Structure 1
Amino acid sequence: MDLETIRAAFGWAALMSYALLLVWFCLWLSCRNWMHRWHNRWFRLSDERFDLVHYAAMAGLKLAIWVFLLAPWLALHLVR
């Protein structure tokens, strides 16, 4: 496998991960009450805690995308 293929794989994986993050955020904005009722069956979360958990998880996913996908993609572009 050559560097161009690996670079393309990192780029596509980052793009798909950001698309997943965007879908999650849009669902959280538009279907928040339904999601809260659905999760509340198992976890009994207050509104504030529910928002905090989702916001923190989205921030964690964004950080993971940067560290594990975008940083290697950028590094491979710089060594070209």
Structure 2
Amino acid sequence: MTIETLTTFFMWCSIINGGLLLYAVVIQMVAPDFIYTFQRRFFPINRETYETVYYAFLGGYKLLYLVFNLVPYIALRIME
């Protein structure tokens, strides 16, 4: 596998995962009540706990996105 192939792979991984992260943040900002009531159907949870869990999820997802997608892509771009 060449550096160009890996660079392209990590570029698309970064774009797709960045889009999913952005989508999750925008949905939470635009319609937090809708998302909470939708999730409440599946998990009996109060609002404060839901917000804590959701923001922890977003923080963890952002950290994983940076470490496993964006940093390798930047490193490969530097290596080229």
TM bucket, shorter chain: 0.7 to 0.9
Q: TM-score, normalised by structure 1?
A: 0.87
The aligned residue for residue 76 of structure 1 is 76
How many aligned residue pairs are there?
80
Counterparts of 1:24 and 1:6, CA distance in 2: 27
The one-letter code matched in structure 2 to 1:24 is: A
The aligned residue for residue 61 of structure 1 is 61
Q: TM-score, normalised by structure 2?
A: 0.87
Which is further off, 62-71 or 37-46? Answer: 37-46
CA RMSD of aligned residues (A): 1.3
Counterparts of 1:57 and 1:33, CA distance in 2: 17
Counterparts of 1:23 and 1:42, CA distance in 2: 21
Structure 2: which 5+ runs fail to align?
none
C-alpha deviation, 1:42, in angstroms: 2.5
